[in-house]
């Protein structure tokens, strides 16, 4: 199944505050484990999810530059928190507050990634979507993927510079509701 063929319906799906979406991937981002909450919310069966690249749930409105930041961070052996909008197999979308961490072997090598996702607050979704709208606008001005990603990265750097924040600080500002992007 390729969700790139799925058209977003505009229907938003959510899950409860007490639930946690969990997936694990190999070092290349291929799903090796998905819990029942992930399967229910993504509208994928375990057979459809396991063995697929994690970007099988990538929503077209999610800025490429944020995915690049996420990937670069975890490949560097560091954790990251991010707001992410995903696309389910039935065209619905769902927002998550993701915590992605690398998994290491006994020699300290990255052997995969672990992601826990919680339901974000509505004000956090609104703030993240506002920021992502700015990044998407910058990215959409370019036809070439690499140029689009670089434009999104530049737009994100500008927002961070204007606010005097790091990416991590901005994410926690959104989470706490203390600042809107």
Q: Give the pLDDT band of residue 177 (cuts 50, 70, 90).
A: confident
Residue 146: HSE in the Cβ half-sphere, 13 Å Cα cutoff = 0
Q: What are phi and psi of 20, to 5 degrees?
A: -135, 125
Can you tell me whether residue 22 is helix, strand or coil?
Answer: strand
d(CA 150, CA 48): 32
177's tokens: 């509701």
> What is the chain's mean pLDDT, rounded?
94
The pLDDT of residue 20? 98
Domains of the chain: 3-120 (3.30.450.20), 123-176 (no CATH)
User: Over the stretch 36-91, which tens digit does the pLDDT of each residue have?
Assistant: 999 999 999 999 999 999 988 989 999 999 999 999 999 999 999 999 999 999 99
Can you tell me whether residue 116 is helix, strand or coil?
Answer: strand
d(CA 159, CA 12): 27
Mean pLDDT throughout 143-168?
96
pTM comes to 0.92
């Amino acid at each position: 199944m390729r969700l790139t063929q799925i058209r977003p319906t505009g229907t938003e799906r959510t899950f409860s505050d007490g639930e946690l979406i969990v997936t694990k991937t190999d070092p290349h981002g291929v799903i090796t484990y998905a819990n029942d909450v992930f399967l229910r919310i993504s509208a994928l069966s375990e057979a459809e999810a396991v063995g697929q690249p994690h970007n099988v749930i990538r929503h077209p409105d999610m800025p490429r530059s944020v995915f690049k930041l996420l990937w670069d961070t975890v490949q560097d052996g560091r954790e990251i928190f991010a707001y992410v909008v995903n696309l389910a197999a039935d065209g619905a979308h769902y927002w998550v507050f993701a915590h992605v961490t690398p998994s290491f072997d006994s020699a300290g090598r990255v052997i995969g990634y672990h992601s826990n996702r919680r339901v974000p607050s509505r004000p956090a979704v609104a703030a993240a979507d506002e920021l992502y709208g700015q990044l998407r606008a910058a990215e959409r001005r370019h036809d070439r993927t690499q140029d689009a990603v670089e434009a999104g990265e530049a737009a994100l750097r500008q927002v961070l510079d204007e606010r005097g924040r790091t990416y991590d600080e901005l994410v926690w500002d959104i989470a706490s509701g203390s600042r809107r992007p």
